[in-house]
Structure formats: C-alpha cells, structure tokens
Structure 1
C-alpha cells in the first residue's frame, strides 16, 4: 500500500498543496514550522480519522477557513482508490471513496493502514493510561473496522450511564431500574471490547518482545505486555505469556456484570462508572517490572519504538502492507536504534520520513527527497517520477469545496 498523490486544502498551515509520492522511502526535509509534520499527519488522518497531535478536528483546519480537505490517490496492490475527507469542525465530516459518499465517516477506517512513530509516542510508556488505551483501540479498530461501531456505542452508553449516576443519589426506584437497563448495554458492549483487547494484546506481545530485542541490543531484560482491568478476570497487569488461555466474551460479561453489582453503591456515591474497559490499562513490562517508573529514558524510547515496530509487524502478519510514517525521530535516536529503524523503513512498501536536517536521516533512506518550505513541497529529484497524474478537483471534488 502506498499514497501515490496527496492533495490538501486549508489543512493546518497549507492553503493548498499537491504532492506526488513514490513507493519506498521519501524524506520530507525543511525547517521547523514549515509544515512537514502536517503532511504526514494528513496521511495518518486517512487511516484513523484522528490526529496523533490533537484530540479534536478544529486545529486541523487552516485559520479563517470553514473546512479542510484531504485527498489522496492510494494504491493497494493492483487497485487504486481515490479517497477524500472534508473536515468540518463542529459538524459531521464527509468522506468519499472512488467518488461515492460513505454514509458514516468511520466506514473509511481500514481502507488505508499506516503506522506512525513520533516523539509524542514516548507517552505510550511514560504517560497516563488514556494514551495506551487510545493506542490499543485505534489498532483494534484498524484491524477489525466493525469494532469502531462497538467502541462508539460503548462511549455513548457510558455517557448516558454516567449522566444517570450523577442524579441517582436523589433518584427514586424507577431511575435505578433504568440504571439496570444501561448496565445491560454496558455489559454487552464492554465484554466484547475486553475480549478483543485481550486478544490484541496477546497477538502484539511477541512482536513487541522481538522488536525490543532488535532496537535495544543485548539486554538482560525482555519486553512484555499485560492488561490491567477493573474486571479481575480480564487481567491484573501481569505479562501475557505465549499460549495463555484467554477468557471468553461470555465469561467476561458475567464478570463485568458481577463487578458492576459490587460497585453500584460506590458508583452512585461518586456519580460515575467505575468498572469497564474505559478505566483499564495496558502494562508495558521491562523484565519483571512495569516500564513506567522504572525504565530509563533510553529504555523508554526503545519500548515506544518497539510498540510501533510491533504494530507494523502485526499488520504484515495479517497480510497487510501499511504505510510507515516516521515523524522527526531519527535525530533523537542513537546509532543502534537508528540502524534498527532504518532496516524496517527500507523494507516497507512506502516510508514517509520528516526531518529538519537531511543528514539526520540514514543515507540509505534518502532515495527520494521533498523540500518543504515557503508554502511549497517540491521534490529534489523530479526526473522519472512515476506519477499517473494529479488528484484533480473535478474528479474528486467535495460539494462545498469548489
């Protein structure tokens, strides 16, 4: 899979940019603040409908514009897909694939697959559980797109249940009976999320161990993953071992229902849902201890990189070839980690790399270079660029963006 052509309109600092891209590694080089990361952020947005830098869509739209547009021609094997997203802060986004509108934007998830590694990923090791839950759920949805609906429905049920709990202390019996109904919805959706998260952690763990060994070099400590849940049956954070027996969805549903019953009084007192996958965590281990609070800065970087390389390897094990995006990371890595990352980058069908200084990027990855600056993005080596033509507005235009 690779992006053949990328077009942005009123996206971040770009009023408009058209960029032809090749398979293999491409370095986007330019001074900080010129928009390199904004270009690769747009590629990630095609895959996840979210940004790795902000939690809402509003910052993605250029100041003064009502909407932003991301368009791309994406090659998947011998097929080409024309994808466009109209980003509408405060309103529903609109998505088209091959000129056909999708009824819901989330139907795009899974069409484009990418793995991004950026300095912000250090928070996966050192940050709050929210960061790790987001990482896990985005990967979960990318592998199994239908789970976007389960995740969205769970969030809506959680919001409704929390609203009811806030008033439950003064509520009468009929309101508490309504709470029982929301418990049923929470159990149904939450148990499915728990089961699929556990399976994902189990699938990802051996890839993390191998990737960490590659990037960290000889080390007495091995990397591992565990799952820590408010539902004890789902895990206490201990590393998942190969061949571990995982609880079924039905078993998790029964355990979740039991925990909700046990914590009902606490939840009413505090006015919030205290049990469920929204309060769980992925525990990253380094040897026998959790990495958070114990790993050094270098070890934390290696673990964050291992998580992303493991994600890349997991997609490949699924038969996919994701786009690899490396956002301003080579300057922060030592020689051994740079070499390990470069080896994976060379093997990807397409790797997009951003750097402020070209020499920070290993020489073998400088096959194609795009200079970003002054509101333009221009290839240094335009000769022989294999491009079947631009993504033009007449072919892919979004109503309201003409």
Structure 2
C-alpha cells in the first residue's frame, strides 16, 4: 500500500496543494512553522479520520475559510482507492471511500494504517496513564474493529456507573440492583478488552525490544511492562471489593481504565532517569514496533510518518534509524526536517533515492535532488 497523491483545500495553513509521491522515501524540508507537519497530519486524517494533534475538527479549517477538504489516492493490492475527508463549519464531518460515504467512521479504521512519530509523542512517557492506554488502544483498533466497539461500550458504561455513584452520594439513595447491572456490563466488555490488551502486549514487547536494541546498538537496558489490576485479580471480585471506596470517591476505582505501561531504563523509570535522547530512542522503538505489529496483522505495510525526528538524536542513532526505515522492512516513508543538507547527506551515504519537497508558508514545490 502507498499514497500516490494528496490534495488539500483550506486545510490549516494551506489554501490549496497538489502533491504526487514515490512509493519509497518522501521528504518535506522547510523552516519551522512552514506547514511540513500539516502535510503529515492530512495523511493521518486519511488513515484514522482525525488529526493527530488536535481533536477539534473545525480548528483544522484555514482561517477565513468555511470548509476544508483532504483527498488521497492510494494504491493497494494493485487497485486505486480514493479517500476523501471534508468538513464545513457547523456541519458533520464527511468521510468517503471511492465516493461512498461511511455510516460509521469506525469502519474505516485499519484499512489504510499509518504510524506517526512526532515530538508530541513525549506525552506517552511524561504524562499520565491515559496517554499510554491511548497508545495501546490505537494500535489494537487498527487491527481489530470489534475492539473499538468494546471500548466504546465500556466507556459508556463507565460514565453511567460513575453518574450513578454521584447520584447515590447526592441523594443518599443506594440502588444496588442498578449498580449490579452496570457492573455486569463493565465486566463483560472489560474482560474482553483485557484479554486483547494482554495478548497484544505479549507479542508487542518482543518486537519493541528488537527495535530498541537495533537503534541503540544494545547500549542501554530498557523494559516495557503491561500493568493491569486484572492480571492479579478477577474483575467481578475487584468491583465488589471496591464498592464502598467507589461510593466515597463517587467514581469507579477498579477496572481496565486504570491499566498502564511501565517504561524503565536500567531498572529505573524512563520518565525520571532517561536522557532526552534515550527517551526519544524509546519512543521511536515503540512506534516502529507499532509499525511492525500492524504489518504482521494486516499483511501489508502501513505509511510511516516521521515528524522532526532528528532533534535530540545523536548522529549514530539517526543513521541507524534511517538505515532501518529505508530498507525492505518498511514501505512508504514521509519525513519532515529543517535541513535539506542533512537529509541529502544521510540518504546519499545510504545510497537511497528520495523525493524531496520544499515547504514555505503553506506552499509546496518539488525539489530536484
């Protein structure tokens, strides 16, 4: 699978853009703020129906315009697929595949998978557990439509159970029968989500370790561990045991919404003891493992979107990374960087042909290499 063409209308800082890509490495160079990242985000829209950086669709419309439109032409299994995403202000987002609109956006997730690596990803390490659960859920959802439905069901039930706990606290009227109904619903979807997360992590951890060892030349000892209350206890028993605490706190304190990933370097938390370069290497290995997992599950190669990844990586790790992503294990790659000279030096050394675009204030031109 690869993206042949991309066209934009009124998207972020672009009035209009029409681009054609090669199946291998494509690079966008330009100064900070020129719009390089916005091109990657448009590709993310075509893959996952939303922005990677901002959940509010209307804020992607160019200032002064009334709508945005993104069109992508993919080649997949020797067939042409046209994906279109559009939004008019104060209207519902439209998403179409070959001119046919989706009834549910969830039906598109996973058909044209992509993996983004961005400075924004540092939140996975330094922020709370929700960011790390989002990472797991994003990967599994691109390979399992039922998983996304289970998540939606679980989160709706969780909201209802928490609302009931608050009502009980406000009124003093305890309704154990209704609480039991919500418990049964949480347990049903929660157990299925837990089993899928557990199975995923058993496969994913080995892939991650392999990628980190390659990037770092085995220079550091890192670990990735899945943490869940359900690893040590039955969900039904957990809910029963925590009911009094839940009533006091007015929220559900046990369940898969508390799952987390533990990141360590030499046995210590990566968040506190990893250097910026080590944290970046960890994140890159995490995302490359996501790529490898998606490829294994889908049977074809996702898009790889690399946004400003050279910052805080030493030259050796940079070359190792580019060596890895430009070989046959990876398919189409899109890279943003501020330095054309650096890009040319790296890929000339590797003997890899690239297609380069110059980006300047929302204008894109094809550069001759």
Answer yes or no: is the 8 Å Cα contact 1:126–1:300 preserved in 2. Answer: no
Counterpart CA distance in 2 for 1:15 and 1:34 is: 13
The answer as to 2:84 corresponding to 1:100 is: no
Cα deviation code 1:264-284 (max 9, x no counterpart)? 111111111111222211112
Counterpart CA distance in 1 for 2:88 and 2:179 is: 35
Answer yes or no: is the 8 Å Cα contact 2:277–2:312 preserved in 1. Answer: no
Q: 225-234 or 133-142: which moved more?
A: 225-234
Report the counterpart of residue 325 of structure 1 in structure 2: 305
Cα deviation code 1:150-193 (max 9, x no counterpart)? 11222222222221111112446674322221111111111111
1:25-40 superposed matches below 5 A: 25-40=25-40
Among 350, 367, 371, the residue aligned to 2:332: 350
Structure 1 unmatched ranges of 5 or more: 235-254, 383-402
Answer yes or no: is the 8 Å Cα contact 1:227–1:282 preserved in 2. Answer: yes
Distance verdict in 2 for CA 1:50–1:344, change over 3 Å: farther
Report the counterpart of residue 366 of structure 2 in structure 1: 379
Counterpart CA distance in 2 for 1:276 and 1:174 is: 21
Please report the RMSD computed on the Cα atoms of aligned residues, expressed in angstroms. Answer: 2.1
Cα deviation code 1:234-290 (max 9, x no counterpart)? 7xxxxxxxxxxxxxxxxxxxx111111111111111111111222211112334344
Among 220, 223, 238, the residue aligned to 1:259: 238
Among 300, 304, 312, the residue aligned to 2:283: 304
Under a length normalisation based on structure 2, what TM-score does the superposition of the two structures give?
0.91
Residue 369 (structure 1) shift: 0.6
Residue 133 (structure 1) shift: 1.0
1:3-402 superposed matches below 5 A: 3-87=3-87, 92-171=92-171, 175-219=175-219, 221-233=220-232, 255-318=234-297, 319-347=299-327, 348-361=330-343, 362-364=346-348, 367-381=354-368
Counterpart CA distance in 1 for 2:284 and 2:336 is: 16
Answer yes or no: is the 8 Å Cα contact 2:281–2:313 preserved in 1. Answer: no
Counterpart CA distance in 1 for 2:291 and 2:170 is: 51
Answer yes or no: is the 8 Å Cα contact 1:67–1:88 preserved in 2. Answer: yes
Report the counterpart of residue 387 of structure 1 in structure 2: none
Answer yes or no: is the 8 Å Cα contact 1:26–1:369 preserved in 2. Answer: yes
Cα deviation code 1:297-322 (max 9, x no counterpart)? 22212111110111122223332201
